[in-house]
Structure 1
Amino acid sequence: MTTPTSTPVPPHASRPGDRAPAAAAGRRHGTRAARRREGRAGFGMAAPALVLLLLFLVIPVLLAFGLSFTNARLISPNPPRFVGLDNFLRAFTADPVFLRSMLNTFVFAAVVVPVQAALGLLLAVLVNQKIRGVTAFRVIFFIPVVTSIVVVSILWRFMYQENGLINSMIDTITFGAWQGMAWLNDPSTALGAIIVLSIWQAVGFHMLIWLSGLQTIPEALYEAARMDGATPRQQFANVTWPGLHSTMVFVLVTITIAALGLFVQVDVMTQGGPVNSTSTLVYHAVRKGYRELETGYGATISLIFFVLVLIIALVQRHLTRDKD
C-alpha cells in the first residue's frame, strides 16, 4: 500500500489566498487613477469659466476693496494715497446725496419686492388655469421681460411726458378734468413712476417662476382637499402656499437683489433727478467713480452697497427658512 505524497510548492509560486489582496490593491489603484483622470478632465472643462470669474469678478472685487481706502482718481497725475476710513466717514457724514440715494434704494426695494412678488403670483395662478388661449396670455405677460430694459425705459420716458400717453389716458378717463403733469420732473412722483415701470417690466419673469412652482404641486393633493370639502381659498392656504415655499424664497431673493441694484432706469430716464429724488446707491457709485472720476470714493460706495445687500440677503434667508 503506497502512501500519497504532497507535491512541494515552489517558493516563488503564489497560493490562491495570496492573490486576493493583490487584486484588491490593484482595483484600489485603478480607482484612484480613474478619479485623478476625472478630476483633471473636470478641471480642464471648468478652467475657462474659472479664468473668466477670476478676471471679471474676483480681481475687480479685490481691487475695489483696496481702492476704497485710498483717494484714487480715474485720471490724475498724482499716485493714490492711503486715507484709511476717510471715504466711509465722508459717505455717512459729509455726502447728503449718498444718504438720499440709500433711502431711495430702500424705498424702491420695500415697494417693488412685495408688490412684484404678489402680482407675479396672481398672474401665475390666473395663467395656470386650463382654458383656451392661456398660452397667449403667458406670452403677452412675458414680452416685456425679453425686451431690452433700455428700450423700455426710453419708451416709458416718452409716455411720462406732459403730453405723453399716460396723461392722455388719464385725461380721457376723467373727461378732460385732468391737468397733465411731467411725472419724471416732479420730485414727488419721479421715483413712483420708475417703480411702476420696473414692476411692469419684470413681473412676467417672476410669473413664470411662480408658474413652474405651481405645476410641481401634485394634483392629488387638490383632489383630496376637494373631497374634504375645502373651498378654493382653503386649498390655496393649505395646499398651494405650503408647496410654493422654495419658489417663494427664490422669487424674494431675486427680486430683492434686482431692486437694490436699480441703475438702468434711473440712468436713462432721470439721471438721478430731479433734486436727487431718484438717485440710488449703484447710480451714485457709478456717477462718483466714472463721471466725476473719484474712483476711490466710488469703490467705497460699492463696498458699502455690497455689505448692505449681503446683510439683507442673510436676514431674508433667515426669515424665510424652512422652520421644519
Structure 2
Amino acid sequence: MKSVEPAHSAPPGPEQTPSVTSVKPAPSTRPARPGRRNRDWVHGLLMSAPAVVGLIAFVGVPFGYAVVLSFYNVRLGSPLAPSFFGLEQYRRLFTDPDLSGPFLRALLNNLTFAVVVVPLQTTLALALAILLNRKLKAIGLFRSFFFMPVVFPIALVAVIWRLILARSDQGMLNSALDAVSFGNWGAFDWLGDGATAMASIIVLSVWQGVGFQMVILLAGLQQIPTELYEAAQLDRASRWHQFRHVTLPGIRGTLVFVAMLTSVLSFRVFDQVYVLIRGGGLDEDAARTVMYQAVTTAFDQNNIGQASAITVVFFLIVVVLTLIQRRVVRPENED
C-alpha cells in the first residue's frame, strides 16, 4: 500500500505575494497631558510676571492708597495728624458749590475733549497711514516726519504752540491771518479767550499724538494680504469699495484698539493744560481738566484727601466709559 503524502502547496509566486499596505496611525485625539498644561501655565505666568508686578506696584498700590486717603482729612505739610472723614470728601465733591462747580466743569471739559479728539485723531491717523502705506522712494523719511511730534517733550510742544497762538501781533497765527486779510486782522487771544481755549488744546494734542496712532494703523494695513486688493481690482471695485470692503474689515481690530487707547489718553490730558495755564496765559476755567483739578487741589491747596476723592471718582467714571466703549466697538471675533 502506498503511503499518501500530504500535498504541499506550491510557494506563492510573485503574483501571489500578498501586498502589504502601510497604514498611518490616526492622529491622536487625546487632550494634552496635565503636566504639559501646567508647564504652559507656569511659563505664561513667568513671562507676564514683570508686567503684572509693575502694574501692581505703580498702579494698584497707589490707587489703593488714594482710596484710603479719600476717607481722611489729610493736609500736605500740616502738623496735625490725619483725621477720619468717612464719605465727607465725596459729599463735598458733589454738594459744596466751591468744589462741585470746578469739578463738574473740569469733567465736562474732559468729556468735550474726548468726544472731539477720539474720532478726529483716529480719522486723521487712518488717513495718514493709508497715504504712507506706499512703496515710494524715501517713504521712511515721510513716516519719520509725521511721527516726529510724538517724541517731542510736552513742554517743548507747549512752548511751540504758545508762540503760534500768542495774543500779540508777533504770534505766528495772528501774523498769518493778518497778512491774508491785508492788515484787517487784529491780535486775537487764542489761549486766553474762553471760546477758543479748549479748541487750542485739542489742536495741539491732535498734532502731537496723531503720529503714534498712525504707526499702529500702518502696521495693521501692512498685514492685509495684497491678494484681496488684486481680487477686488479684478472685480472692478472702485477705490472706495476697496477701502470699505477690504481695508476696514482688515484693520477693524486695530481701529478698535486705537480708539480705546486714544480715549484713555484723552481722559488723562494734563501736561499741556498745566504748562499753558501756568506759563502761556491759557484760560483756566475753560481748559481745566479733572487731572489738573486733582493736582492743583493736592499741591496748591494742600488738600490730599480731597484730591484723592477726585481721583477715585474720575477713575470709576473712566472705567465705566471704557467698558461701554469696549462693548459697543468690540471686534467681530469676540461676538
TM above 0.5 = yes
The answer for the alignment partner of 1:309 in structure 2 is: 318
2:121 is the alignment partner of 1:119: no
2:251 is the alignment partner of 1:244: yes
In the TM superposition, what is the alpha-carbon distance from 1:273 to its structure 2 partner? 5.1
The answer for the alignment partner of 2:159 in structure 1 is: 154
Q: Secondary structure at the match of 2:188?
A: coil
CA distance in 2, matches of 1:50, 1:141: 33
Q: CA 1:105–1:40 in 2, change beyond 3 Å: closer, same or farther?
A: closer
Q: Secondary structure at the match of 1:158?
A: helix
2:191 is the alignment partner of 1:191: no
The answer for the alignment partner of 1:8 in structure 2 is: none
1:290 to 296, 299, 312: 299
Contact (CA 8 Å) 2:256, 2:331: kept in 1 or not?
Answer: no
The answer for the alignment partner of 1:13 in structure 2 is: none
The residue identity in structure 2 corresponding to 1:171 is D
The answer for the alignment partner of 2:58 in structure 1 is: 56
In the TM superposition, what is the alpha-carbon distance from 1:57 to its structure 2 partner? 2.5
In the TM superposition, what is the alpha-carbon distance from 1:50 to its structure 2 partner? 5.5
Q: CA 1:131–1:50 in 2, change beyond 3 Å: closer, same or farther?
A: closer
Identity within the alignment, %: 42
Q: CA 1:160–1:253 in 2, change beyond 3 Å: closer, same or farther?
A: same
The count of corresponding residues between Structure 1 and Structure 2 is 293
The answer for the alignment partner of 2:234 in structure 1 is: 227
The answer for the alignment partner of 2:3 in structure 1 is: none
Contact (CA 8 Å) 1:170, 1:178: kept in 2 or not?
Answer: yes
Q: Secondary structure at the match of 1:84?
A: coil
2:91 is the alignment partner of 1:84: no
The residue identity in structure 1 corresponding to 2:285 is N
Contact (CA 8 Å) 2:277, 2:284: kept in 1 or not?
Answer: no
CA distance in 2, matches of 1:129, 1:301: 47
143-152 or 265-274, larger mean C-alpha shift:
265-274
In the TM superposition, what is the alpha-carbon distance from 1:223 to its structure 2 partner? 0.7
2:135 to 127, 130, 133: 130
CA distance in 2, matches of 1:47, 1:120: 33
2:223 to 191, 198, 216: 216
Matches within 5 A, 1:27-46: 35=39, 39=42
In the TM superposition, what is the alpha-carbon distance from 1:275 to its structure 2 partner? 4.7
Contact (CA 8 Å) 2:106, 2:290: kept in 1 or not?
Answer: yes
Which structure 1 residue ranges, 5 or more long, are not aligned?
1-27
CA distance in 1, matches of 2:320, 2:105: 20
Q: Secondary structure at the match of 1:179?
A: coil
In the TM superposition, what is the alpha-carbon distance from 1:92 to its structure 2 partner? 1.9
Contact (CA 8 Å) 1:273, 1:279: kept in 2 or not?
Answer: no
CA distance in 1, matches of 2:55, 2:239: 48
The answer for the alignment partner of 2:287 in structure 1 is: 278
Contact (CA 8 Å) 1:108, 1:259: kept in 2 or not?
Answer: yes
How big is each residue's C-alpha offset from its partner over 1:148-194, in whole Å with a ceiling of 9 and x where there is no partner? 11111112112211221111122222222211212111111111111
How big is each residue's C-alpha offset from its partner over 1:229-281, in whole Å with a ceiling of 9 and x where there is no partner? 11000000000001111101110011101100000001100149525111000
How big is each residue's C-alpha offset from its partner over 1:179-211, in whole Å with a ceiling of 9 and x where there is no partner? 121211111111111110000011111111111
Q: CA 1:120–1:292 in 2, change beyond 3 Å: closer, same or farther?
A: same
The two structures have a TM-score, normalised by structure 2, of 0.81
The answer for the alignment partner of 2:9 in structure 1 is: none
In the TM superposition, what is the alpha-carbon distance from 1:52 to its structure 2 partner? 4.6
The answer for the alignment partner of 1:19 in structure 2 is: none
How big is each residue's C-alpha offset from its partner over 1:81-137, in whole Å with a ceiling of 9 and x where there is no partner? 222222112222222111110010100111111000000101111111233332222
Which structure 2 residue ranges, 5 or more long, are not aligned?
1-32
269-278 or 251-260, larger mean C-alpha shift:
269-278
Q: CA 1:112–1:81 in 2, change beyond 3 Å: closer, same or farther?
A: same
Q: Secondary structure at the match of 1:184?
A: coil
The residue identity in structure 1 corresponding to 2:120 is V
The answer for the alignment partner of 1:73 in structure 2 is: 75
| Structure 1 stretches of 4+ moved >3 Å | 38-43, 45-55
CA-based RMSD: 2.4
